[in-house]
Chains A and B, each alone.
Chain A
Amino acid sequence: MSELTISRRGLLAGSALLWASTALPAIAFAQTPKKGGRLVLAADSEPRNLNPAIVASNGVFFISSKIVETLAEASFDGKDGLEPRLALSWEGAADGLSVTFKLRDGVKWHDGKPFTSADVAFSALQIWKPLQNLGRTVFKDLEAVDTPDELTAVFKFAKPTPFQLIRNALPALSSVVPKHLYEVGKIEDNPANNAPVGTGPFKFAEYKAGQYYRLTRNDAYWSKDEPYLDEIVYQVLPDRTSAAAALEAEEIQLAAFSAVPLADLDRISKVPGLKVITKGYEGLTYQLVVEINHRRKELADLKVRQAIAHAIDKDFVVRTIFLGYAATATGPVPKNDPQFYTADVPTYPFDVAKANALLDEAGYKRADDGKRFALKLLPAPYFNETKQFGDYLRQALAAIGIDAQIVNNDSAAHIKAVYTDHAFDLAVGPPVFRGDPAISTTILVQSGIPDGVPFSNQGGYKNADLDALIVKASETLDAAARTELYKEFQKKVAADLPLINVAEWSFISVARDTVGNIANNPRWAVSNWADTYLES
């Protein structure tokens, strides 16, 4: 017996040594990134317009954030969750009417011209404010950008604008493009939209439709020694099942944005040489939301909305549809947001009996066939998970006597049906939380938004209280007071249910072990990858 113990201990020690010997080189490499090499990765969509200053969306950032830089990037441990890029510092005035940016010295555009405050002023006034999908809201009161010298840009606002909001918007909304290329002709038709020119660590080299995008190293990058990679190639693999196979065959080294289906992750995590990474998307949280058309008289009744909220088993959704790679939601701000989230909101635990009782109370009794009323349900087609949740929601509603008929549309038809024609009763949508509720969250419940604005309140919901709160928060300059108002906002939304937040999820990367410095900031997949390297 004692002999056995000893030999087992010996075995353990031996295997630990063996493990340590394999782990050692990896640790050594992590400290000294290697230069050179070509990173090949999977791209699942092919955006035509690659100008991130106009189209602030993850699909565009994924490619163009390596070429065109923003004033600041999100960071795990920087002050206010930011680290400098083109701006070195940012300072908001106490009256909320101006923000001063000190810019980085010695930065050159890819065509050799120097980067100056004039470029920032031009980008902000000519592109972010009038043309950018998100900038239109955030920079709506931006009046002028003063440039006292080449390295200072002062944003002047017509109305007091919370500095906290501007700060939170920097990583996604502040892509700076060269004035000298954009000042001639129409900005939307500029050739640089398809072959971007920026200040980033990589230059745009070529794009072959249906095949690949290729970026090459910017030798004149402002950060010495960076970037480490010589080339980045985005291999277009629109079929989600092919990314996993390509990784295993070593044709690609990285598949970001959940290009590998969730159901395959368990299997692929056991393949030697591949690792599954869930970090690096903290700043890009998607929310699984049931959008409600309040024009339907049944759905205008709060009891019915509460009943629907009680009928959804959020744990089942997270466990089965997202296979655990998600979190249940309590309200319109995701749990992983460090600034605004509050758990102190009304909740709706899964309770079919209670849901049925609420519907009876509301006066919608079951007919002889067990059904109370019928609804049209439109699941958004962008993600497998939104479609599957549509199937699940239909079953969950059947359990409380609501007969939901699913209507499938392609992306364009879905956006038109929900956000322009309002031809839905319930819809499943994946809005994105972008670090501040004022950027793309309050718009989901605010009234008075014109028809046709995607991912906004098109359900005809109107709540004067909530509208007033949103306006007040947009004018509150003090960060702490503003945060409090958004906590109040979460409570009100969870109580009145203009929409139902079900879950929050982000993406997963799968990479070969040789790719280093992965997921080292909260927007890693859409950051500049200057410090990413390959071991061999």
Chain B
Amino acid sequence: MSRLRRFLSTPEAVAGALILALLAVMALVAPLLFSGDPQAIAGPALQPPFQDWSLPLGTDRLGRDVLAELFHGARTSLAVGLAAAAAALLIGAVVGTLAGFAGGLVDEVLMRVTDAFQTVPSFLLALAFVSIVGPSLGVVVAAIALSAWTGPARVARAEVLSIRERDYVAGARVIGMHPLEIAFREVLPNALPPVLALSSVIVAAAILTEAALSFLGLGDPNRVTWGGMIAEGRTVLRTAPFLSIVPGVALVLTVLGVYLAGEGVVESTAVRRSLS
């Protein structure tokens, strides 16, 4: 409880949480508020915003409702951001724990693989992966996770290296627990907090990567994405700038919200740690 209060005591964290809550609401109500296909043609093409209140944010080049696209785009952005971050954290934690706990050759091999992934620019890796496998939502999530798991893996390994020397780990060994059981039931849960602290950065990066992929035409073409909306609007940037500005602003706010909220969480836990 006191932790929540600490979290809420910083204005940045509150702002971040509010933005995220708004985004979550948008994503949840999108199918209720704008039932049917958000890509359906709803009115005349290129209607500017705030002219017709049935289409408050206007329409794009084919006459699709920008507001409906924005709401449905929030779903895609959040889904991709969260799924990719979860996958990256999972892969990273498992690899890091195995490497740190086993040590020796296993550690060497896993860490060199991690190095190999880290030396390739993460966006390039995602780009190459999607262009080979073909764009669909699952592939995009996998591509982003593939390029983002190295950070969590390194943090997890460092944490495990210190935890595995603790007495309770030695105790578990003595009572004859299987090394894998020790690694994943005793060590990993205790190594998790610093790894989870990375999550806000990864979610924000994942949302941006997804938008960039969609912008380059490598997103799922059957779903509305903010990156795809910006790319579509770019061809009419001079005549209808709102088509790029609206999803662009949404993207900036989302990443800002995720970052601020994540920062708030880290700070509140940091205060708790220094207190204890």
Q: Which residues of A approach B to under 8 Å, CB–CB?
A: 240-241, 244, 261, 263-264, 266-267, 320-321, 381, 384, 388, 391-392, 394-395, 398, 405-410
Q: Is B134 part of the binding interface, using a Cβ–Cβ cutoff of 8 Å?
A: yes
A167 and B185 CA atoms in complex are apart in Å by 82
Q: Are A320 and B131 touching (Cβ within 8 A)? A: no
Q: Kindly list chain A residues whose C-beta atoms are within 8 Å of the C-beta of B238.
A: 241, 244, 264, 267
Flag B216-239 by CB within 8 Å of A: 1 or 0 each: 011001100000000000111111
| Chain B hits for A267, CB < 8 A | 238-239
**Would you call B6 an interface residue if the criterion is a C-beta within 8 Å of the partner chain's C-beta atoms?**
no
* A392-B222 contact, Cβ under 8 Å, with A240-B235, A267-B239: no
Contacting pair A395 B239 (CB below 8 A) = no
Q: Are A263 and B222 in contact (CB under 8 A)?
A: no
The smallest beta-carbon distance between A271 and chain B, in angstroms, is: 11
Taking a contact as CB atoms under 8 Å apart, the answer to whether B235 and A263 are in contact is yes
Bound CA–CA A320/B236 (angstroms): 13
Taking a contact as CB atoms closer than 8 A, the residue among A384, A398, A407 that contacts B221 in the complex is: A407
Say whether A320 contacts B239, CB under 8 Å.
Answer: no
Q: A263-B240, A267-B238 are in contact. Are A391 and B131 (CB under 8 A)?
A: no
Contact in complex: A408, B235 (CB < 8 Å):
no
Stretch at the interface among B39-47, B49-57, B151-159: B39-47
Given contacts A320-B61, A405-B222, contact A410 B131 (CB under 8 A): yes
In B197-223, the 8 Å CB interface with A consists of 217-218, 221-222
B134 engages A391 (CB within 8 Å): no
Q: Which of B40, B45, B222, B236 contacts A261 (CB 8 A)?
A: B236
Known pairs A394-B39, A395-B39. 6 more at Cβ < 8 A? A241-B237, A263-B240, A264-B236, A267-B238, A381-B217, A398-B40
Q: Is the CB of B61 within 8 A of A388?
A: yes
Measured CB to CB, the nearest residue on chain A to B223 is: A406
Q: Is B179 on the interface with A (CB-CB < 8 A)?
A: no
| Cβ A388 vs Cβ B62 within 8 A | yes
Question: Is B31 in the interface zone, CB < 8 Å from A?
Answer: no
Q: With contacts A241-B234, A266-B239 known, is A320 near B221, CB below 8 A? A: no
User: Is A391 in contact with B237, judged by CB distance below 8 angstroms?
Assistant: no
Contact partner of A395 (CB less than 8 A), chosen from B41, B134, B221, B240, is: B41
Chosen A-B contacts, 21 in total, with CB atoms closer than 8 Å, are A241-B234, A241-B235, A241-B238, A261-B235, A263-B236, A266-B239, A267-B238, A320-B45, A320-B62, A388-B61, A388-B62, A391-B39, A392-B62, A395-B39, A395-B62, A398-B37, A406-B221, A407-B221, A408-B217, A408-B218, A408-B221
Say if the beta carbon of B63 comes within 8 Å of chain A. yes
User: Chain A's interface: helix, strand, loop or mixed, by majority?
Assistant: helix
Bound-state CA distance A406–B40 (Å) is: 14
| B residues in contact (CB < 8 Å) with A | 37, 39-41, 45-46, 61-63, 131, 134-135, 217-218, 221-222, 234-240
In the bound complex, residues from chain A placing their C-beta under 8 Å from that of B222 are 394, 405-406
Query: Complex formed: what's the CA distance from A406 to B224 in Å?
Result: 12
Q: Collect the chain B residues with CB atoms within 8 Å of residue A408's CB.
A: 135, 217-218, 221
Min C-beta distance of A402 to chain B, whole Å? 13
Inside 8 A of A381's CB, which chain B residues have their CB? 217
Cα–Cα distance between A381 and B234 once the two chains are bound (Å): 16
Bound complex: CA A388 to CA B228 (Å): 12
CB-defined contacts of B234 to chain A, threshold 8 Å: 241
CB-CB nearest in chain A for B134? A407
Judged by DSSP, the binding face of B is: loop
Closest to B36 in A: A398
A406 to B225, CA, bound (A): 14
Q: Contacts of A391 on B, CB cut-off 8 Å?
A: 39, 62
B37 touches A395 (CB 8 A): yes
Q: Nearest A residue to B63 by beta-carbon distance?
A: A320
Q: Nearest A residue to B41 by beta-carbon distance?
A: A395
CB of B242, distance to nearest CB on chain A (Å): 13
Report the bound CA distance from A321 to B45 in whole Å: 9
Distance of A97 from chain B, by nearest CB (Å): 51
Complex interface: chain B residues within 8 A of A263 (CB) = 46, 61, 235-236, 239-240
Which single residue of chain B is at the shortest CB-CB distance from A266?
B239
| A-chain residues with CB within 8 Å of residue B41 when the two chains form the complex | 392, 395
Partner among B46, B63, B235 whose Cβ is within 8 Å of the Cβ of A384: B235
B208 to chain A, nearest CB (A): 20
B131 contact set on A, CB distance < 8 A:
410
Closest to A313 in B: B41
How far does the Cβ of B221 sit from chain A's closest Cβ, in whole Å? 4
Q: Bound complex: CA of A263 vs CA of B237, how far in Å?
A: 9
In angstroms, how far is the closest chain A Cβ from the Cβ of B69? 12
A197–B157 CA distance with the chains assembled, in angstroms? 65
B239 and A264 contacting across the interface, CB-CB below 8 Å: yes
Cα distance, A392 to B240, chains bound together (Å): 19
Chain B residue numbers with a CB within 8 Å of A388 are: 61-62
Give bound CA distance, A450 to B63, whole Å. 41
Complexed CA–CA distance, A264 and B61 (Å): 12
Cα A244 to Cα B234 in complex, Å, equals 13
CB distance from A160 to the nearest CB of B (A): 49
Residues of B within 8 A of A395 (CB): 37, 39-41, 62
Complex CA distance for A264 and B234, rounded to whole angstroms: 11
> Could you tell me the distance in whole angstroms from the C-beta of B36 to the nearest C-beta in chain A?
9
Expressed in whole angstroms, the Cα–Cα distance for A381 and B131 within the complex equals 14
How far is the CB of A375 from the nearest CB of chain B, in Å? 12
A266 CA / B239 CA spacing, docked (Å) = 9
**Interface core residue of A264, A267, A391, A409 (most chain B CB under 10 Å):** A391
Residues of A within 8 A of B217 (CB): 381, 408
Q: Write out the residue numbers on chain A whose beta carbons fall within 8 Å of the beta carbon of B221.
A: 406-408
Q: Which 9 A-B pairs have the closest CB atoms?
A: A406-B221, A263-B236, A320-B45, A408-B221, A261-B235, A263-B239, A405-B222, A406-B222, A395-B41
Output the nearest chain B residue to A316 by Cβ-Cβ distance: B41
Residues of chain B within 8 A (CB-CB) of A394 are 39, 222
Provide the residues of chain B in CB contact with A406, threshold 8 Å: 221-222
- Complex Cα distance, B220 from A407, in Å, reads 8
CA distance A201 to B222 in the complex (A): 50
Who on chain B is nearest to A409 by CB?
A: B134
Q: How far is the CB of B124 from chain A (nearest CB, A)?
A: 16
A407 contact set on B, CB distance < 8 A: 134, 221
Distance in Å: Cβ of A444 to nearest Cβ of chain B = 25
